[in-house]
Amino acid sequence: MKTERRARTDRRAKPTPAIGPFWFRGRRGRARRQTDFPRGYYVDHPGSRALAAVTILLIFEILDGVFTLRLMEQGANEVNPFMASLLSMGTAVFACVKYGIAVAALVILLIHKNYVIFHPLLRVKWLLVFLLFTHATLIGYEIMLLAGYSR
């Protein structure tokens, strides 16, 4: 007589959590079933491209903060009222809040990178690509401003 080796409860009854015990240690790197793809899914390894995009975005955020402070020293004004109020409290408060918000947002985007925005082919990971281009444009603009102020 054969003994049933399977567990009594089906491990697939609950979806994979966003952050679980296997995040970055597990083996799941993409959807295993075709039914997972249309609605979105979590993975244990976000992938080297996604990690590179998030790292570059963090570098862009740091550069944006540094360039903003340099421009403010040279007479520019902060047009974002929230950031302007943080700057009035000091550069440490400005930097902590700015980078804290950026890190939290990027972690949330990284966790949900395989989720659908409007259409199964339009996923959160494409938002990371969009943010890369917009931040690169912003950094380029700030470099041009800094070059204009230094003359």
Choose the weakest-confidence range: 19-28, 90-99, 121-130. Answer: 19-28
- pLDDT value, residue 133: 97
Q: Across residues 99-111, what is the average pLDDT?
A: 92
Q: What is the dihedral sign for C-alpha 130, 134, 140, 143?
A: negative
Please report, for the chain, the start and end positions of each structural domain, with discontinuous segments joined by +: 47-150
β partners of residue 116: 123
Angstrom distance (rounded) from CA 118 to CA 105:
19
Q: What is the pTM of this model?
A: 0.74
- pLDDT value, residue 58: 96
* DSSP helix/strand/coil, 112: coil
Angstrom distance (rounded) from CA 3 to CA 13:
23
Angstrom distance (rounded) from CA 32 to CA 132:
28
Q: Look at residue 104 and tell me whether its pLDDT is greater than 90.
A: yes
What is the enclosing helix (H) or strand (E) of 119?
strand 116-119
N-to-C CA span, the chain: 88
Residue in the block written with tokens 């249309």: 38
